[in-house]
Structure formats: structure tokens, C-alpha cells
Amino acid sequence: QVQLAESGGGLVKPGGSLRLSCAVSGFTFSDYYMSWIRQAPGKGLEWVSYISSTSTYTDYADSVKGRFTISRDNAKNSLYLQMSSLRAEDTAVYYCARGSGSSHHPFLTWGQGTLVTVSS
Amino acid sequence: EIVLTQSPGTLSLSPGERATLSCRASQSVSGSYLAWYQQKPGQAPRLLIYGASSRATGIPDRFSGSGSGTDFTLTISRLEPEDFAVYYCQQYGSSPWTFGQGTKVEIK
């Protein structure tokens, strides 16, 4: 079955960097757009970024543009989020999610999330 | 940026009752690219509805979505105990993709 597993979260100081990973299985990874979505503690959902199936297209929320970079390795069935210049307001559970083959896609399947805490 | 406003904030109902959740967009959602998700405490969200009215795989037919333009509705025809959760709408027609603030459906 379709599975997504995030890793790489943890405690980081303001201004620091962190790289999140999402390992997927159960579907042809290279056929799908993928996204990162986050949820601050006790808050709602915020879309962060997406990447197209062949990495040709990416898009970011204004709140992370210039600080976060999304990437993927289709040979390794893995999605990544490189986060830098981290701020306290980046503290959240980060979910990876599978889209579809189109740029306009809902989030079909979600991982269980990884917690990122930005604090001194 | 399209702002999605969900109402009510909290809905208190009993099992077996009908739930009607609203999602209003600040501007028209192109292509009816509107989705609904369910989230239970400590769990990841789950896709219920996409394209405003299409049920995702495995979603019971008591869940239905409707609407277009700026006004969308999620209806749960008869609440089951497992349906008490938070529900979010989300538009994926215009970047940045945005979510509503959520509606909590709680047991009365």
C-alpha cells in the first residue's frame, strides 16, 4: 500500500538549518507531484511547497520563499526539504504528501509527519 | 492569495445527525479545485473530497461535497462516532494553495 515516512525533524536554533526527508513506497514515485505541508502546534494547516514529477516545476509559500528548497530523487523514491535561516515561527509538524500527475492536485496521501522545533 | 473562511468554527451534534460545513473563498476558486480533509487528534489529515464534489478512494458515501465559485459545502448525512474530528477545506487552483482555518465537529 501507499506509504510515506518523514524523517529529519528535531530541535534547531534560530538561524540554523535542517533537511527533512520523505521516503515513499507503494506507488510509482516518479509519476507524481509531491508537496510539503506544515502544522504549527495547535494550529491549522499551511502548504509549504510542491515539486513536479520530474523536478521541472517548484513553488513555495511566501513565508518560506528564499529560505526553503524542495527537491526529489526519483531513483531513491525520496522527497526532501532543505530548510535554512529557520525562525521560531517555522516550528511545526511537517508532512509530505502525494499529489497527482497535474500541477492542480489535492493531497491524496499524507505521511505521519516529523516535528521541527526552532528554539534557542 | 485566496482566503478560505470556514463556518461554523465548532459544530456540536449527536451521532446520527446531519452535519453541514461551509467554506467561503475570498475570490472564485478556478476549476472548482477545492478539497476537504478530515483530521483526528494526533493523526495526519485524510483527503475526503476533491474537485469540490468527488469522493476520494475509500470514503463512505455519507460524505458529500458541493458548490462552485466562492461557496462550498461539505455534508455528512448521518454522523458516525468516528466522524467527530476537525475538517479543513483547501483550494489548489491558484498559488499559493491555501487552507481554511478548520471546523471542529464535536459530540453534543
Q: What digits encode the pLDDT tens for the residues A61-114?
A: 999 999 999 999 999 999 999 999 999 999 999 999 999 888 888 999 999 999
Q: Residue A11 carries which side chain, given as an amino acid letter?
A: L
Cβ proximity of A93 and A38 under 8 Å? yes
- Given a cut of 90, whether residue A45 has pLDDT beyond it is yes
> Which residue of A45, A50, A59 is in closest CB contact with B45?
A45
Cβ proximity of A61 and A77 under 8 Å? no
Q: Half-sphere exposure of residue A67, counting CA atoms within 13 Å on the CB side?
A: 16
Identify all chain B residues contacting A44, using CB atoms and an 8 Å cutoff.
Answer: 88, 99-102
Distance CA A31, CA B16 (A): 41
* DSSP assigned state of B81: G
> Among B92, B95, B104, which would you mutate to test the A interface (most chain A Cβ atoms within 10 Å of its Cβ)?
B92
- Contact B44/A62, CB-based, under 8 Å? no
Residue A15: its pLDDT value, please? Answer: 97
pLDDT-derived band at B6, boundaries 50, 70, 90: very high
Query: Is residue A115 classed exposed, middle or buried when 0-12, 13-18 and 19+ CB atoms within 10 A define those classes?
Result: middle
Chain B CB within 8 Å of residue A47 CB? yes
Mean pLDDT across chain A: 96
